[in-house]
Amino acid sequence: MVTTHVTDVLIIGAGLAGERAAIEASSHGLNVTILSLVPPRRSHSTAAQGGMQASLGNCAMGRGDNPDIHFVDTVRGSDWGCDQDVARLFVETVPIAVRQMAYWGVPWSRVVAGKRTLPDGRVIEEEPEYEGLINARDFGGTAKWRTCYTADGTGHTLQYTMDSIVIKMGITVHDRMEAIALIHNGERCLGAVARCLRTGALTAYLARATVIATGGYGRLYGASTNAVINEGTGMSLALDTGMVPLGNMEAVQFHPTGLVPVWILITEGARGDGGYLLDKNEYRFMPDYEPKKKELASRDVVSRRMIQHMRKGFGVDSPYGPHLWLDIRHLGAKHINTNLREIANICRNFVGVDPVHQLIPVRPTQHYSMGGVRTNIDGKAYGLKGLFAVGEAACWDLHGFNRLGGNSLAETIVAGMIVGQKIAEYALGADLEFSSRLVEERIRRQEARLADLIYGRNGKENVYHLRREMEQTLMDYVGIFRNGKDLETAVARLQELHQRSRHIGLVSSGRGASPELTSALRLPGMIRLALCIAYGALQRTESRGSHAREDYPRRDDVNWLKRTLSYWPPDADLPELKYEPVKITELPPGDRGYGESSAQSGTGSNPQKA
Amino acid sequence: MPNRELTFKIFRYNPASHEVTPHLQTYRLNETEGMTLFVALNRIREEQDPSLMFDFVCRAAICGSCGMLINGRPGLACKTLTRTLPKQITLLPLPVFKLIGDLSVDTGTWFRHLSLKTEAWIHTDKEFDPTAREDRMDNATALKIYEAERCIECGCCIAGCATANIRQEFLGAAGLNRVARFMVDPRDLRSGRAFYEIVGNNDGAFGCIGLMACEDNCPAQLPLQQQLAFVRRRMAALGLKL
């Protein structure tokens, strides 16, 4: 038996973006229902250690900052791949968002007046006039210190505060509930069919507006800093309609410092506070490549320099392939155990390294997905009315081909505010119209999908084996450095895996909240996303932001100043790619101003394959 | 490190199939360098038994999903290295919380109820002004709030608490710590009396019988007994004034 749940606004995903959008819609008097794979406070947003960029200009090194400077940093960071009207809206709104989070309860670290010496010897002085206002720290790729933070638990305090408002407002949250298909009539999205991860039962959710806020697709890669739930499920739902395109799926960011071999993120805060990168000879190599920004060049640049340096043979050999060292010992026990406490705990607990006395093994690791459900500036998905997307699941498009540290947490909340408003406007003006026959048909289709898996009608392929092969294919052939030959290999392998994924057979009974069934339902969609990444990367014959082609090392604005749109036609085995221009309003394409062009990047074998 | 063969005895029960009664099932696995219970459980599921239910999200001790009884003690499976355990490892779901299946329990419902019961949000009559600069706060105060805010709601303190195991409505250390977080926050304008209504009873500050398992088991190493003492002192001070 299938139950039906009717609501004004259905939000899929309860991280910061989903919850902020829910609060906005709810504050307009709309009935809002949030679905979440896990209790909201377990969302991946909680894990963000770094911070949220806002040009408050309170701290000494942030003095004179304003939205214009933040705008330029963001556009440059994106390698001119972002929509500049979105970036402008974002930088103007983010100071309000940060202050509102303070009003709701985030403690934020505050400015303390007085002098202090930075690790590089510079002395800075915080003025009494700014004492007690929200502080900011240094992050990669920005002209000013702009990243607001709460010690090293920024994501945690933001998510808990946000969730407290959701609870206070009485917003309905159905946790352990996974949307497995959108319900639509070819023009309008009407909601979603969801499967309960407690019981396995299906529910049809019908809504005036449906919002995808499911985060990124990092877990398609074998080595990712992402939580295990970041499998791109929301994007799959949109792609599988055949009408909604995904934007820039090939834009995948690697974080310079994933902890080897557990791939837990060591935040930029470590380098922002003065941590160095060292090679196998314990030599600090970054100043040789990036004399000005050193370890604080943007993420894509630092990641590439690390790979380049390892290719020259300066990596530290390990059973998990070559890696480099992060050194924070000189910051001292007091600083490490307070300001960088989470980092210290992670090192001690997960690899048995004490960073007060020892070097931390790190390597560039998949970290963020710039691509997602393509929306306009209002957060409306292309292709279907009543469908919205927000946060990392969306390609809004603020980040273009490279996201700056501290801009993603900021995006979740700012987009939640802005798009939440547009969702409310839309839902208040939309009827809840649906044909019960259509809804029943959509449910039956999902019931059949479940039954085929439970009764073994499809074949005997093992879901975990296929998944490992997909992860490995992306790691080996669609990594930090890419080339035509590898990408062709990746596309061919993924196509084969996609075929095989139609023949998954369960080993277990699949009853109740079966974890194997959950994986089996997700995997074919994940492989389609992987194909969007690999095929999009193969076609894009230039290097831009995080997308670095060894065979096309230069950015090519003549042919590629545009966004990839991936569609998945019914029964296809490859995405159909279309392109649209990026919106340039204020800042014409120019030099990024940091990081060399990647001309010298393409030599030697790829250590990622190790 | 010797190549150990580990024996896992894992609690099995699937509420969706009543024909199988709750029992312990044995799995064997060769230990590898740096193996955590996250690695071990995933390997068991992928290679031996895909029906095994357990929860991980961040696998980095930040999200609090993977609390379970590890050889009798509540702890986070993700940050437990197998080399710290004997060859035989028994895994049970956390008590107190409703069982979903095998090692998976429903902490989400429990903690949302806790938040509602303690009204765990800032109570203020001030309106947010988007055009104004933020209110100032002393950084020491901000850090004090963060210190209490660090709880990850994993439920280890609740599972290890004698009172919580026998009295369903007891707030437990996580609950009292949550209340303390709002007590130290100058933005929360609740009176002492309002807090007394929430914690000045046997379900709150006076239900604790001082066995201290909460603090011993807290993976975030929160000073839970200190927080309890703080809440009790506030209650006592209020009582003297009344």
Residue type at A593? Answer: G
Q: Where are the beta strands (DSSP E) in A370-405?
A: 372-374, 387-389, 394-395
Q: Calculate how close chain B gets to A133, using CA atoms only, in Å.
A: 5
Cα–Cα dist A195/A72, whole Å: 44
Nearest to A388, CA basis, from A432, A421, A359:
A421
Q: Summarize the confidence of residues B147-160 as an average pLDDT.
A: 96
The set of residues, in sequence order, having a beta carbon less than 8 Å from that of A273 and lying 6+ positions away, is A119, A137, A138, A328, A331, A335, A339, A340
> Which residues does chain A have within 8 Å of residue B35's beta carbon, measured at their own beta carbons?
none
pLDDT at B1: 52
For chain B, how long is the longest CA-to-CA vector? 65
Complex prediction ipTM? 0.97
Cα–Cα dist A170/A165, whole Å: 8
Residue A260: other Cβ atoms inside 10 A: 22
- A111 pLDDT tier (thresholds 50, 70, 90): very high
Instruction: Determine which of A14-23, A175-184, A595-604, B22-31 has the lowest per-residue pLDDT on average.
Output: A595-604
Segment A399-451, tens digit of pLDDT: 999 998 899 999 999 999 999 999 999 999 998 888 999 999 999 999 999 99
H/E segment holding residue A351: helix A341-351
Name the active-site residue from A208, A271, A305, A442.
Answer: A271
pLDDT at residue A609 tops 50: no
DSSP track, A548-565: EESSS-S--HHHHSEEEE
The percent of residues above 90 in pLDDT, for chain A, comes to 83
Alpha helices, H only, A38-83: 67-77
Cα–Cα dist B82/B87, whole Å: 9
H/E segment holding residue A347: helix A341-351
The percent of residues above 70 in pLDDT, for chain A, comes to 97
Across all residues in chain B, what is the average pLDDT? 94
Segment A298-352, tens digit of pLDDT: 788 899 999 999 989 999 998 778 899 999 999 999 999 988 888 898 898 888 8
- B153 pLDDT tier (thresholds 50, 70, 90): very high
pLDDT at A603: 32
Alpha helices, H only, chain B: 37-47, 107-118, 139-149, 156-159, 162-166, 172-183, 192-199, 213-217, 224-241
The set of residues, in sequence order, having a beta carbon less than 8 Å from that of A543 and lying 6+ positions away, is A549, A552, A553, A554, A555, A597, A598
Across all residues in chain A, what is the average pLDDT? 93
Nearest to B65 among A38, A110, A200 (CB): A38
pLDDT at A593: 65
pLDDT at A319: 76
Q: Whole-angstrom distance between the N-terminal and C-terminal Cα of chain A?
A: 50
pLDDT at residue B2 tops 70: no
Q: Whole-angstrom distance between the N-terminal and C-terminal Cα of chain B?
A: 63
Q: B51 in helix, strand or coil?
A: coil
Cα–Cα dist B225/B230, whole Å: 8
pLDDT at residue A600 tops 70: no
> Which residue of chain A is at minimal alpha-carbon distance from B82?
A350
Which value, in Å, is the radius of gyration of the alpha carbons in chain A?
23
**Running DSSP on this structure, what letter comes out for residue A294?**
G
Cβ(A35)–Cβ(A213) below 8 Å: no
pLDDT at residue A1 tops 70: no
Cα–Cα dist B73/B94, whole Å: 9
Enter the tokens of residue A147.
């990243």
Q: Summarize the confidence of residues A183-207 as an average pLDDT.
A: 97
pLDDT at A2: 80
DSSP track, A212-257: E-----GGGSSSBSS-TT-S-HHHHHHHTTSSSPEE-TT-EEEEEE
Q: Calculate how close chain A gets to B21, using CA atoms only, in Å.
A: 15
> Which residues does chain B have within 8 Å of residue A160's beta carbon, measured at their own beta carbons?
149
Q: For residue A524, how many C-alpha atoms fall within 13 Å in the half-sphere facing its CB?
A: 24
Q: Summarize the confidence of residues A172-196 as an average pLDDT.
A: 97
Segment A213-244, tens digit of pLDDT: 999 999 999 889 999 999 999 999 999 999 99
- A599 pLDDT tier (thresholds 50, 70, 90): very low
Q: Summarize the confidence of residues B81-97 as an average pLDDT.
A: 96
pLDDT at residue A604 tops 60: no
> Which residue of chain A is at minimal alpha-carbon distance from B105?
A198
Question: Which B-chain residues 81-140 have CB contacts (< 8 A) with chain A?
Answer: 81, 100-101, 104, 106-109, 111-112, 115-116, 119-122, 126, 128, 130, 132-139
Enter the tokens of residue A533.
């990444």
Nearest to A509 among B51, B55, B136 (CB): B51
Nearest to B146 among A153, A464, A511 (CB): A153
> Which residues does chain A have within 8 Å of residue B135's beta carbon, measured at their own beta carbons?
102-103
Residue B61 Ramachandran class (φ > 0 left, ψ -120 to 50 alpha, else beta) = left
Cα–Cα dist A439/A203, whole Å: 11
Q: Calculate how close chain A gets to B32, using CA atoms only, in Å.
A: 12
Segment A246-260, tens digit of pLDDT: 999 999 999 999 998
pLDDT at A119: 72
Catalytic residue status for A503: no
- A197 pLDDT tier (thresholds 50, 70, 90): very high
Cα–Cα dist B112/B96, whole Å: 15
Segment A522-549, tens digit of pLDDT: 999 999 999 999 999 999 999 999 999 9
Question: Do B153 and A41 count as a contact with CB atoms less than 8 A apart?
Answer: yes
Question: Do B61 and A229 count as a contact with CB atoms less than 8 A apart?
Answer: no
Catalytic residue status for A330: no
> Which residues does chain A have within 8 Å of residue B82's beta carbon, measured at their own beta carbons?
none
Cβ(B52)–Cβ(B93) below 8 Å: no
pLDDT at A280: 96
Q: Calculate how close chain B gets to A204, using CA atoms only, in Å.
A: 21
Sign of CA dihedral A405, A407, A408, A410: positive
pLDDT at residue A45 tops 80: yes
Q: Calculate how close chain A gets to B174, using CA atoms only, in Å.
A: 14
pLDDT at residue A379 tops 60: yes
Residue type at A607? Answer: P
pLDDT at residue A597 tops 70: no
> Which residue of chain B is at minimal alpha-carbon distance from A41?
B63
Enter the tokens of residue A455.
């009764």
Cα–Cα dist A450/A455, whole Å: 9
Cα–Cα dist B221/B156, whole Å: 11
Q: Summarize the confidence of residues A261-278 as an average pLDDT.
A: 87
pLDDT at B32: 84
Question: Do A132 and B137 count as a contact with CB atoms less than 8 A apart?
Answer: yes
> Which residue of chain B is at minimal alpha-carbon distance from A198?
B100
Name the active-site residue from A70, A137, A184, A255.
Answer: A255
User: Crossing angle, helix A463-477 and helix A515-539, to 10 degrees?
Assistant: 20
> Which residue of chain B is at minimal alpha-carbon distance from A129?
B136
Cα–Cα dist B62/A226, whole Å: 12
pLDDT at A594: 52
Q: Summarize the confidence of residues A138-167 as an average pLDDT.
A: 92
Residue A146: other Cβ atoms inside 10 A: 30
A261 preceded by cis ω (within 30°)?
yes
